[in-house]
Amino acid sequence: MEENLDPILERISKEDNMKKTGRVVNVNISDKKGIIKRPIGQGLFIEDYGLEGDAHAGKWHRQVSLLGIESIRKMEEMGIKDLKHGDFAENITTEGIVLHELPLGTRLKIGETIQEVTQIGKECHTGCAIAKQVGKCIMPKEGIFTRVIKGGLVKAGDKIEVL
């Protein structure tokens, strides 16, 4: 009798991901919603608010957006070139953790902050400036959103730890 190993391998992959650490590649900001963010290297993340000065900050569940450099590389492999950090409107570009596999409620220590995963992916609105400028957007499938539990400074090179 042949056993289907897919569910077992998927569970092991998620368990491995829970033990991983990653790093911050860059911190990105914009003063308007729906546009590409610009890299700033570091930012102050305010408890229950988000990145200081960012258009998406506020008292809601999508205070901070994160996208892995691995997801951005997938877009490059599809032929979209010259992508930069922030092109998908992510506040934090990460490396080393498969973000979209983290369960809701997962807490991450990012730099001096603690953030909680509140949403995986999003519905992409019509006429999205990112999709128009970049060609396609990976954020709806592989980006995640967090809420800031403990504020502090986050900068490029900081460790990301799944708590």
User: Domain 6-162 belongs to what topology?
Assistant: M1 Pyruvate Kinase; Domain 3 (2.40.33)
Average confidence score pLDDT of the chain: 86
pLDDT computed for residue 1 by the predictor = 46
Ramachandran region, residue 127 (left: φ > 0; alpha: ψ -120 to 50; beta: rest): left
pLDDT computed for residue 84 by the predictor = 86
On the question of pLDDT at 16 being above 70, the answer is no
- 24, 68 in Cβ contact below 8 A? no
pLDDT computed for residue 31 by the predictor = 95
Domain residue ranges of the chain, discontinuous segments joined by +: 6-162
On the question of pLDDT at 49 being above 90, the answer is yes
